[in-house]
Amino acid sequence: MTMDSDLKIARAARLNPIIDIAHEMGIAPELLETYGNSVAKIKLEAIEALADRPKAKYVVVTAITPTPLGEGKTTTTVGLGQAMHHTGRRATIAIRQPSMGPTFGIKGGAAGGGYSQVVPMESLNLHLTGDMHAVTSAHNLLSAMLDNHLFRKNELDIDPHNITWRRVLDVDDRALRNIVIGLGGKNDGVPRQTGFDITAASEVMGVLALSTSLQDLRARLGRIVIGYTSDQEPVTAEQLKAAGAMTVMMRDAIKPNLLQTLENTPVLVHAGPFGNIAHGNSSIVADLIGIHSGDFLITEAGFGADMGAERFFNIKCRASGLIPDAAVLVATVRALKVHSGAHRVVAGRPLPPAILQENPDEVHAGGANLRKQIENIKLHGVSPVVAINAFPGDFSSEHDAIRDIAESMGARVALCTNFVDGGRGAIELAELVAEAADEPNGFHLLYPNEAPLRDKIEVIAEKVYGAEGVDYSPAASRQLEIYEQNGFGNLPVIIAKTHLSISSDPSLKGAPTGWRMPVREARASVGAGFVYLICGDISTMPGLSAHPAAESIDIDETGEIVGLS
C-alpha cells in the first residue's frame, strides 16, 4: 500500500474554525487570541472559567526505549485522541511544540504521522505563534545582562569561572557547544569561555512548562541561578534585575496554543522541553485547561517510560497536583528487535534488511525492555496499556509476541493501525484506556521532597534504570554539596542521559543490569524547580547529521513548502 506523504495528507484535511474547536471544549471566544482560522492562543483566564466543569480522566502516553527513528508516540497520542470520539467520548490532546533543531535535523517534525496528525502541520513545525523565539530571546536577554554586569564593575562579585548560564539557539549547531566571548577591544566585553545549548534545553523553557500562572512564571524566572560569587553564594536573575523584562517577553508565550487533529479533535500545543535533557513534557497551564475540557485529557511524555514518563510522574505531577489515571506504553516490532541485540539502526539510514524479516523470537528476545518499562509505570501505581504501533512490514506473529509479553506482565494490550486508519485504528486502545482509567488510583511519587539529592538520584538509577549503583565525579560531588548548602536539596532530580537505552550507555539494549551510572556533572535549574545530572556522553546542543532534513526542505514554484516531514 502506498500512502501520500504526511504533508500532502495534512494539506487535504478539512479543518474546523478554531473558534468552533474551542467551543467544543467550553472555551468562550473572548478567551481566545486567534492566529488566522486554524490556530489560537488561549488566555490564562480560561483556567478559572473552566474550573467548575467536571475533571477529565488524565492519561499519559509514553513508550519503550526507542530506536533513533522514534516509535510513533505522537502518532499514537493523536490516534488515541481521535479514537475517543469514535467511542462516544470527548478528548483533548496536549503535546509539546516541536523544536526546529530536530525539524531541520534528523528527526523531522513532531505533528504525528499518516492519518493521525496535528494540523496545520506547517504551522506546528515552523514557528507556530513564536513561543520558541520568546524563550530564546528571554534566555539570551539574561545572558546579555549577565555579561554587561561583568563589564560594568561586577558589583555582585560574580566569579567569572563559576558561571553556569549559557546562551541558547533553536538550531542544531555543534560548533557553538564551546565558544569564547568578549574578544576584541576593551569595549567588547569580558573574555570568558561559555557555549550554547539548544532552546529546548533552556531553563526558561523548563520554567514555561512548569509554571501554573503568569505570577508563578515571574517568580520562577527570578529564582534562576546564573552562577556563583567568589564565596560560592548563588546569584539570581532577580539580583541582575532581569526577571521583570524576561517575564514581559514571555507574557504571550505562557498562553497555550490551540490546534486540532485531522479529525478535528482539540490539541493544546505548549512548551517544548527536551526529553533527554529537561523534563520532556508539555505545559502545566495547558493541562489545567485541558483537564476540564472533555472526558479525557491525553498528554505525551518524551522518549521512553524511564525518561519522560518518570519525569511526568515525579516532576510535572508533583508541581501541578494533577493525578494520572492511566498510561499508554507504545511498543513496536522493530524497536524490540533492536533490543534483542541482533540489529543496529542508525538515524538517517534505511533499516537493516534482516530486521524486516519475520522473526517473533527476536521480539521475545528484546522483550526485557518492554517488561521493564511496564514495571516502571507500575512503580508509580499507574495502570499501563500497551499500544502495539503497527508498521506495514510487521507480521501478525510478531504482534502476537508483543501481546504475549505485555499480558505476562498483567498489562492490557491493543493493536493500533491509526497511522493508516486514523482514529478508527485505535478504537481498541481507546476502550482499554477507558477501562484502565476507571480502576482505583494508586498513584504515588518515587521520593519525597525532603530526601537528599543523592537519595533521589539513586532511587531513579536503581529502581527505574536497573543500575546497581551511582558513581559521582569529584566535580559532581562538589556541585551537589553546594546545592544542598544553598537550600536546593528539596528539588526533584532529572537524569540527563541517552534516550537509546534504559541505562546511561546507548550500546546497552534490552533491560541491562549490573552496570553503574556515572554522573559527571550536576546543574541546578532552580527557577524551573529541579536539579539535573549529566550522565555519560550527552550533549545539550545537538549537531546536524551528514544529510540533515534541511537539505530536502524548500518551496516550489507556487510558494508552497516541500520536503517537510
> Domains of the chain, with CATH numbers?
6-129+254-437 (3.40.50.300), 133-250 (3.30.1510.10), 453-535 (3.10.410.10)
- The percent of residues in the chain predicted with pLDDT above 70, rounded, is 100
Phi, psi (rounded to 5 degrees) for 201: -100, 0
Q: Model-level pTM?
A: 0.95
pLDDT-derived band at 103 (thresholds 50, 70, 90) equals confident
In this predicted structure, the answer to whether residue 1 has a pLDDT above a threshold of 70 is no
Query: What secondary structure does DSSP assign to 472-536, as a single string?
Result: E-HHHHHHHHHHHHTT-TTS-EEEE--SSSSSS-TT--SS--S-EEEEEEEEEETTTTEEEEEES
Q: What is the pairing mode between strands 561-562 and 554-555?
A: antiparallel
What lies within 8 Å, CB to CB, of 471 at 6+ separation is 516, 517, 518, 519
Q: Which of 44-53, 68-77, 113-122, 533-542 has the lowest mean pLDDT?
A: 533-542
Q: What is the pairing mode between strands 384-389 and 116-119?
A: unpaired
pLDDT tens readout for residues 430-477: 999 999 999 999 999 999 999 999 999 999 999 999 999 999 999 999
CA–CA distance from 363 to each of 331, 359, 466 (Å)?
11, 7, 21
At 318 the pLDDT is 98
Give Rg (Cα) of the chain: 23
pLDDT-derived band at 107 (thresholds 50, 70, 90) equals low
The residue among 444, 449, 446, 442 whose CA lies nearest residue 458 is 446
Q: Are 237 and 246 in contact (CB under 8 A)?
A: yes
pLDDT tens readout for residues 306-365: 999 999 999 999 999 999 999 999 999 999 999 999 998 887 788 899 999 999 999 999
Among 4-8, 300-304, 551-555, the range with the most confident prediction by mean pLDDT is 300-304
Question: Average pLDDT, stretch 188-201?
Answer: 96
User: 33, exposed or middle or buried, with CB in 10 Å at 0-12, 13-18, 19+?
Assistant: middle
More confident residue, 535 or 2: 535
Q: Are 76 and 328 in contact (CB under 8 A)?
A: yes
At 355 the pLDDT is 93
The residue among 122, 49, 44, 59 whose CA lies nearest residue 95 is 59
The residue among 516, 418, 501 whose CA lies nearest residue 467 is 516
pLDDT tens readout for residues 222-239: 999 999 999 999 999 999
